[in-house]
């Protein structure tokens, strides 16, 4: 078991909290689990917990086409623009649909991560959390799926590598679903290490066989809880992260592995999210000058989602 190591980095400043009202305008229809109320629930719980006193609130800008094109094929970007409806919805797959507000929301979501990278790399914030939707980790280079259109984390990672000249970047993904899009984009990229846990077998039915040596995927059986998750982090994630010594960490922060979330069948709690966040902060303090950009992915039971984000942000903000 890994023990806490003395930090080599002391955080100063306030955690950046990036979001935008435009992220509420993406609406895939009544009853869809990926709903605007997700962000409202998070905001309300943060207010109730008085956590906004420890956060600097930042409006998410729109992503540029150049920033998107680092990870998405230009023809795919064109395709999404051509599919954007003026009224109603346009369905890309059985789970994923565009409304008139989707494209702008997706641009804000990806733009939030790019801006968060700039804030953290330039020292304007010690770390950041992007409370954005639609999520992104299922979006492949040229395919929308699983509620995702642009791969927000991948866009941010590519920006860190290209604009800030980082040489080693890590991604930690604890969503209940495998981040197939992120793996598709960065497989065999020696500059990027990805560690992940996810329920398996489960949508999108990938990840059990990693696509590259830089992918450290840990499938968890349905019914697994905090013990199995913590074992995976301690025995798989942490050795890989220590060996890699990343210069920045991105988190695909999906909270749908919570035991109250019926999207999946794992049994995590707020305490598990707090625990894994503390370990990621410790890695960041050792190797990354504290630099973490965390990005909302899944989480569909509104109360559990909001409580989990509060637990995650208490650690990031040192509140």
Supply the residues annotated as catalytic. Answer: 138
Angle, helices 37-48 vs 302-317, to 10°: value is: 50
* Beta strands 169-173; 248-253: pairing state: parallel
CA distances from 282 to 64, 135, 145 (A): 33, 26, 33
**Cα separation of 314 and 317, whole Å?**
5
Beta partners for residue 98, in sequence order: 90
- Crossing angle for the helix pair 102-121 and 152-163, to the nearest 10 degrees: 40
Residue 47, Cβ density class (10 Å: 0-12 exposed, 13-18 middle, ≥19 buried): exposed
């Amino acid at each position: 078991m890994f023990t806490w190591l003395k930090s080599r980095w002391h955080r100063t400043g306030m955690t950046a909290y990036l979001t935008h009202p435009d992220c509420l305008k993406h609406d895939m229809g009544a009853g869809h689990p990926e709903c605007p109320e997700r962000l409202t629930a998070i905001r309300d719980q943060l207010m109730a917990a008085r956590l906004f006193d420890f956060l600097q609130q930042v409006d998410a800008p729109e992503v540029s086409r150049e920033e998107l094109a680092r990870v998405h094929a230009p023809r795919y970007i064109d395709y999404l623009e051509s599919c954007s409806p003026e009224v109603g919805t346009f369905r890309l797959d059985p789970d994923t649909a565009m409304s008139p507000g989707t494209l702008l929301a997706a641009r804000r979501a990806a733009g939030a991560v790019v801006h968060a990278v700039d804030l953290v790399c330039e020292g304007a914030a010690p770390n950041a959390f992007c409370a954005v939707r639609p999520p992104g980790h299922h979006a492949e280079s040229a395919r929308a799926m699983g509620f995702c259109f642009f791969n927000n984390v991948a866009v941010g990672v590519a920006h860190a590598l290209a604009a800030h000249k980082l040489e080693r970047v890590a991604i930690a993904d604890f969503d209940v679903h495998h981040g197939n899009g992120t793996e598709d984009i960065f497989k065999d990229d020696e500059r990027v290490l990805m560690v992940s846990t996810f329920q398996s077998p489960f949508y999108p039915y990938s990840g059990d066989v990693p696509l590259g040596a830089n992918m450290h995927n840990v499938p968890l059986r349905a019914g697994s809880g905090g013990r199995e998750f913590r074992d995976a982090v301690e025995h798989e994630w942490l050795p890989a992260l220590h060996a890699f010594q990343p210069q920045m960490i991105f988190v695909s922060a999906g909270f749908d592995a919570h035991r109250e979330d019926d999207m999946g069948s794992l049994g995590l709690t707020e305490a598990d999210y707090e625990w894994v966040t503390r370990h990621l902060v410790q890695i960041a303090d050792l190797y990354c000058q504290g630099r973490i950009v965390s990005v909302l992915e899944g989480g569909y039971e509104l109360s559990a989602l909001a409580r989990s984000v509060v637990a995650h942000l208490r650690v990031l903000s040192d509140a």
